[in-house]
Amino acid sequence: MTVGTERAAGARFAVDDSPEEAAFRAEARAFLDSIAVLRSDADETGSYFAMADDDPETHRRHVARNKEWQRRIFDAGWAGITVPVEYGGRGGERWQERIFRQEQARYNVDTGLFAVSLGMVVPTILVHGTEEHKRRYIPPMLRGEEIWCQLFSEPGAGSDLAGLTTRAVRDGDEWVVNGQKVWNSGAHHADFGALIARTDVDVPKHRGITYFLLDMRTSGVEVRPLRQATGVAHFNEVFLTDVRVPHRNVLGAVNGGWAVAQTMLMNERNMIGSGGMGVGFGDYLRLARAFGVTDIPVIRQALAACFTRTEILEYLGARAQAAIRAGKQPGPETSVLKLNASLHSALNGDLGLQIQGAAGMLARDDAYRRGMFQQLFVGQWGVRIGGGTEQIQRNVIGERVLGLPGESRPDKTLPFREVPRNG
């Protein structure tokens, strides 16, 4: 999962803007200028996840800042740009949403906590939800009142997500869920979870999964934070013991959850690919200037490569924007964006340390920007694995974009109960 939706500070965002897009961008900028200030190196915003600051007070402040900002843009009519007006949104277009996010990323505001809710859950409910689902769940997300997390991965089901074993069994008007989820970003702050569970073991694995909208305060839900290499507990294990979920909280068809999950995953890849790591070329250039290394040829080359990658991502994003304008839902091409964002984060991780030299070993208050670039180096694997690993994106691109022969999947047609498993 993503750690934020911010883009390279100071990068050019107006690649191929049409006059209509440029006008919208100017309107968004004018609004944002009226209520926020631009990011600077002194901000904690944008580097929250990189600070390795696990003080509960820092977390509390982060949650409060996210909620407060979301409420402000909601009150001004800028929340949920693509969401129909009847569900509290602006009733606009996806290209407008994209432009607004790019512009918002330039300001000293916190938005990352709503990445799953707004970037993944809202679009999924809009496609697969009933009228009741849309009216109950979408407005509180837009107002910044309810935070969601994604409860997909399990200890034995990540890349092979359809192999999940968390079970949901129908009991009258309820489902009883037992199992374990893992790597669930922000679950410790979440009010609701988007949960997938196995509801039929007698059909092949993709056909026996159902998608549930889970209230995280339900009895039997236990959230245990996991500390990452960066020092921060950003994601969690979630244990589900006899958790009762009302049948009305099924999103899509019973046993049709794989299609619903795919909608969410494509929106996730699109978001990660378009969102980057919240730190971009401008930050690396400032870092190089601060360390007085802009005259060193290898650094200049590495900075130029970083700029080139930023531009390529920008053009890939513009291409996605054009497809969206043409009314298409995000598809397998989102894997191209996700893969490029992953590679960019890996190379940027190296660049941040290369520029600092020995000072790259310092941390926290001893380090430049409280060790943010060191944390980005350590944290790069989060970006590269979350939302589907690089290898999996290459498989998707090979099979579904390039039309190459598929991997051998002997378990694809077997009833799930006959698939060999450990334990």
Ligand X SMILES: Cc1cc2nc3c(=O)[nH]c(=O)nc-3n(C[C@H](O)[C@H](O)[C@H](O)COP(=O)(O)OP(=O)(O)OC[C@H]3O[C@@H](n4cnc5c(N)ncnc54)[C@H](O)[C@@H]3O)c2cc1C
- In the chain, the largest separation of any two C-alpha atoms, in whole Å, equals 71
Binder among 82, 102, 184, 270 for ligand X (CB under 6 A):
184
Helix (H, G, I), strand (E, B) or coil at 417: helix
Q: Please, which residue, 91 or 155, has the CB nearer to ligand X?
A: 155
Catalytic residue among 93, 103, 154, 268: 268
**Among 141, 24, 29, which Cα is nearest to 79's?**
141
Active site residue 93: no
Q: How far is the CB of 323 from ligand X (least distance, A)?
A: 24
Binder among 78, 114, 148, 183 for ligand X (CB under 6 A):
183
Note whether 134 and 399 are within 8 A (CB): no
Please work out the total of residues on this chain that contact ligand X, with binding judged by CB under 6 A.
21
Rounded Cα distance between 348 and 229, Å, is 18
Stretch that binds ligand X, among 50-58, 182-190, 238-246, 290-298 (CB under 6 A): 182-190
Q: Please, which residue, 181 or 369, has the CB nearer to ligand X?
A: 181
Helix (H, G, I), strand (E, B) or coil at 193: strand
Structural Rg of the chain based on CA atoms: 21
Q: Please, which residue, 213 or 288, has the CB nearer to ligand X?
A: 213
159 binds ligand X (CB under 6 A): yes
What are the residues facing 192 on neighbouring strands?
A: 148, 215
Q: How far is the CB of 14 from ligand X (least distance, A)?
A: 31
Q: How far is the CB of 382 from ligand X (least distance, A)?
A: 3
Binder among 158, 163, 220, 225 for ligand X (CB under 6 A):
158
Output the CA torsion sign for 251, 159, 409, 239. Answer: negative
Cα–Cα distances in Å, from 160 out to 113, 157, 165, 205, 275? 26, 5, 11, 10, 25
Helix (H, G, I), strand (E, B) or coil at 148: strand
Interface pattern 361-400 for ligand X (x via CB under 6 A) = ---------------------x--xx-xx-xx--x-----
345 binds ligand X (CB under 6 A): no
Q: Which helix (H) or strand (E) holds 139?
A: helix 131-142
Interface pattern 239-278 for ligand X (x via CB under 6 A) = ----------------------------------------
Rounded Cα distance between 423 and 90, Å, is 50
Stretch that binds ligand X, among 18-26, 43-51, 145-153, 211-219 (CB under 6 A): 145-153
Rounded Cα distance between 129 and 142, Å, is 16
Stretch that binds ligand X, among 32-40, 55-63, 143-151, 344-352 (CB under 6 A): 143-151
236 binds ligand X (CB under 6 A): no
Helix (H, G, I), strand (E, B) or coil at 177: strand
Q: How far is the CB of 343 from ligand X (least distance, A)?
A: 14
Binder among 152, 211, 281, 284 for ligand X (CB under 6 A):
152
150 binds ligand X (CB under 6 A): yes
Output the CA torsion sign for 416, 403, 335, 383. Answer: positive
Q: Mind spelling out the 3-state secondary structure of 1-31?
A: CCCCCCCCCCCCCCCCCCHHHHHHHHHHHHH
185 binds ligand X (CB under 6 A): yes
Q: How far is the CB of 392 from ligand X (least distance, A)?
A: 5
Q: How far is the CB of 389 from ligand X (least distance, A)?
A: 3
Stretch that binds ligand X, among 136-144, 146-154, 275-283, 335-343 (CB under 6 A): 146-154
Q: In sequence order, which residues have a C-beta less than 8 Å from that of residue 320 and are 6 or more positions away?
A: 98, 270, 273, 274, 330, 333, 334, 337
Note whether 3 and 276 are within 8 A (CB): no
Q: How far is the CB of 384 from ligand X (least distance, A)?
A: 8
Active site residues: 268
**Which residues bind to ligand X, rule: CB under 6 A?**
1, 149-153, 158-159, 183-185, 235, 382, 385-386, 388-389, 391-392, 395, 407
